[in-house]
Amino acid sequence: MDSLATPSATKEILDQFGFSIKKRYGQNFLIDENIVRKIVKLSGVSKNDVVLEIGPGIGTMTQVLSLEASKVVSVEIDRKLMDVLSYTLQDRQNVTIINEDILKCDLEELSGTYNNGGPFKVVANLPYYITTPIIMSLLENNSYLNNMLIDSITVMIQKEVADRINAKPGTKDYGALSLAIEYYTKPSVLMNVPASVFIPRPNVDSAVIGLEILKEPPVKVKNEKKLFTLIKAAFSQRRKTFVNSVSGVLNIDKNLLRECLSDIKKDHDIRGEELSLKDFASISERI
């Protein structure tokens, strides 16, 4: 089938199947072939790779990925797109479409079934409404304590989320996502993408980010799940101090938290957004 990455081809497919775009799934379809090809090129996908694509939509990027990768496993939450994808990708024998919520998928099971237990390259145009949960889920389930299931992540996201990727302590964009990115990856913003290349047109511009998975984290902790439980609690109520926020969410004694802060030479009234990854790691180990 010819490229879907044009306004006319996209509209034709949507009309042919009587498909109504759903805001609840954050559906915005790319209509610029040059951008689609550039994203795939930036991902570094080769014939040695199995790609995990999240939210293929009507198969616009899937088409290009199937030409570059050994295999493409695309996870689509919208059941009504299954017939569309079966039609648009009917000549792509190396593509598997799974009708599932990526947040409910077992990465280890996917890897074992479709990649002989090896790591995926993740490439996707992520739905904006659930970008952060998807990235956090991918990173946390790609645990250093288990087999590495993801080799790299190349995704298009809201530009404002991309700004949070490289945010530093003490800034308004700094949060749990910033710390997860720092712990698991080497991040980079690969390109900016205008809102005009989507149907329907979103209200914000986008950016493509690349996340190279680190072979080992920059800080050592015995339990990374507990580390991120602590981090999320610290940012759950940003206006509160670290002590009040964490003690309220995790029911940890305030005096213990104050002792932890004293150990790393931090004021007791400091907020979570002023603590570095190293600080959180130290506190997590002490607790």
Residue-wise pLDDT for 215-237, tens only, equals 889 999 999 899 999 999 999 99
User: How much is the pLDDT for 21?
Assistant: 83
With beta carbons less than 8 A apart as the criterion, state whether 91 and 72 touch.
Answer: no
Closest CA to 124 of 55, 197, 31: 55
Tell me if 145 is assigned to some domain. yes
The whole-angstrom separation of Cα 76 and Cα 102 is 8
| Residue that is last in its domain, among 169, 190, 213 | 213
CA–CA distance, 185 with 50 (Å, rounded to integer) = 20
CATH number at residue 274: 1.10.8.100
Residue at 2 is within a domain: no
Question: Which structural domain, as residue segments, surrounds residue 251?
Answer: 224-286
92 HSE (CA, 13 A, CB side): 28
Q: How far apart are CA 175 and CA 275, in angstroms?
A: 10
Residue 125 domain-assigned?
A: yes
pLDDT value of position 143: 64
Q: Which residue, of 185, 213, 241, is where some domain finishes?
A: 213
**In a domain? residue 131:** yes
d(CA 201, CA 148): 36
Does 208 share its domain with 231? no
Q: Cis link prior to 119 (omega < 30° from 0)?
A: no
Q: From CA 217, how far away is CA 185, in angstroms rounded?
A: 8
Tell me: do 167 and 261 sit in the same domain: no
Whether residues 143 and 191 fall in one domain: yes
Residues 35 and 174 in one domain: yes
User: Is 248 among the domain residues?
Assistant: yes
Tell me whether residue 1 is in a domain.
Answer: no
Beta bridge mates, 120: 150
Q: 0.85 exceeded by the pTM?
A: yes
Is there a single domain that holds both residue 118 and residue 25?
A: yes
* Burial grade of 89 (CB within 10 A; 0-12, 13-18, 19 or more): buried
Check whether residue 129 and residue 32 sit in a common domain: yes
Query: For position 67, which CATH number holds?
Result: 3.40.50.150
Q: Are residues 193 and 268 in the same domain?
A: no
Pair 144, 216: CB distance under 8 Å:
yes
Q: Are residues 127 and 167 in the same domain?
A: yes
* Same domain? 181 vs 238: no
Contact between residue 234 and residue 245 where contact means Cβ atoms under 8 Å apart: yes
Tokens 């800080």 correspond to what residue?
A: 219
pLDDT in the model for residue 148: 84
Residue 271 domain flag? yes
In a domain, 219, yes or no: no
Reply yes or no on whether the pLDDT at 33 is more than 70: yes
Is 12 in the same domain as 131?
Answer: yes
Q: Is 113 in the same domain as 254? A: no
**Residue 71 pLDDT > 90:** yes
Cα within 13 Å of Cα(261), Cβ side: 20
Is the separation of the CB atoms in 263 and 286 below 8 Å? Answer: yes
From 103, 122, 105, select the one nearest 113 (Cα to Cα): 105
The residue out of 213, 239, 258 marking a domain boundary is: 213
Tell me how far apart the alpha carbons of residues 190 and 1 are, in angstroms, rounded to a whole number. Answer: 29
State pLDDT tens for residues 108-164.
Answer: 999 999 999 999 999 999 988 899 999 999 998 876 555 689 999 999 999 989 988
Domain count, the chain: 2
pLDDT at 146: 55
CB 85, CB 56: distance < 8 Å: yes
Number of helices (H), then strands (E), belonging to the chain: the values are 12, 9
**Whether residue 183 is found in the same domain as residue 248:** no
